Structure 1
Amino acid sequence: MPAIPRGVRNKNPGNIDYNPRNAWVGQIGLEPKSAGVPNPRFAEFDCPENGIRALGKLILAYRGKDGMPGVGKPGIDTVTEVITRWAPGNENNTAAYIAAVAKRMVVLPTAPLVLADFKTLLGITMGIINHENGGIPYTQAVIEEGVRRALA
């Protein structure tokens, strides 16, 4: 039986780092060391919908951050910019991550997106969940509810 991905165990499918200053709705705290994690790092949530909500809220917050020169519009608004911020190259194969999410969304990696659009936020959220967990571990309804909560 394959191991359950860390993001699924923590109900944090985006593998968001734990920071006690972030009072995310449903955040329980730092993932437990007892779950076979030698160096706990990620937040743990009470339910997947709230973990997905936090993922969506972070993506929406990126809009106000400096984007990459010559990419998209001002601010972070492309798959390239979101994923570069989400999964920095010192920890990830960011180019492969960008390509996978853009392909899944059927958009060019540098095309400007309206991240506050439900369908767009759903698409990028699903791309991140898929990449972080090696698949989509939740029903469409669970993911859509998390995205709805992020947009509320």
Structure 2
Amino acid sequence: MSRIETRGVRNRNPGNLDYRAANRWQGQLPHNPAVEARFCRFDTAENGIRALGKTLLTYQRKHGLKTVKAIVNRWAPGVENDTDAYVRAVELGTGFAPGVDVDLTEFEVLKAFVRAIIRHENAGYAYPDAVLSEGVRRALL
């Protein structure tokens, strides 16, 4: 049985980051509304994963968000997501208990977060470990 390719996987943007003209992500393809009106597209999955990781790191560094709930509430606001279900999925996917502070600058912590978000955003999709690890490595540079 073949799996339907999700928009995030097809765009190599597994976090489904919205396109913003001000953002100049590494490996971001030119915006083409005829191909994809709302979301960024990337040249490789690793660069899409990098952008996801960089965004999460910004949430922590700039906005002081330290728990799964705080981070996911900003990542996936309730106006278009079931944020409570998303928080539970990320807590389950990362193994972090509710309310525990996390340090996204730690490779394995960021990797677990990114993996859980990708699975939630892309109907259970999981990248090979080498692809995921390289994207996270690039995010931490």
| Structure 2 counterpart SS, 1:44 | coil
How big is the shift at 1:77?
Answer: 1.1
Amino acid at match of 2:11: N
Structure 1's unaligned 5+ residue stretches are 67-74
What aligned pairs does 1:52-131 form with structure 2 within 5 A after superposition?
52-66=49-63, 75-131=64-120
Q: Which residue of 2 aligns with 1:71?
A: none
Amino acid at match of 2:42: F
CA distance in 2, matches of 1:33, 1:135: 27
Structure 2's unaligned 5+ residue stretches are none
CA distance in 1, matches of 2:21, 2:135: 21
Q: TM-score, normalised by structure 2?
A: 0.93
1:28-76 per-residue CA deviation (whole Å, 9 max, x = no partner) reads: 0336534xx6xx100000000000000000000011344xxxxxxxx10
Cα–Cα, structure 1 residues 31 and 88, in superposed 2: closer, same or farther, change >3 Å? farther
In the comparison of the two structures, how many residue pairs are matched?
A: 140
CA distance in 1, matches of 2:32, 2:3: 20
Q: Does structure 2 retain, via aligned residues, the 8 Å contact 1:20–1:29? A: no
1:125-148 per-residue CA deviation (whole Å, 9 max, x = no partner) reads: 001000000113410110000000
CA distance in 2, matches of 1:87, 1:31: 24
Structure with the higher strand share, 1 or 2? 1
Q: TM-score, normalised by structure 1?
A: 0.87
Amino acid at match of 2:44: C
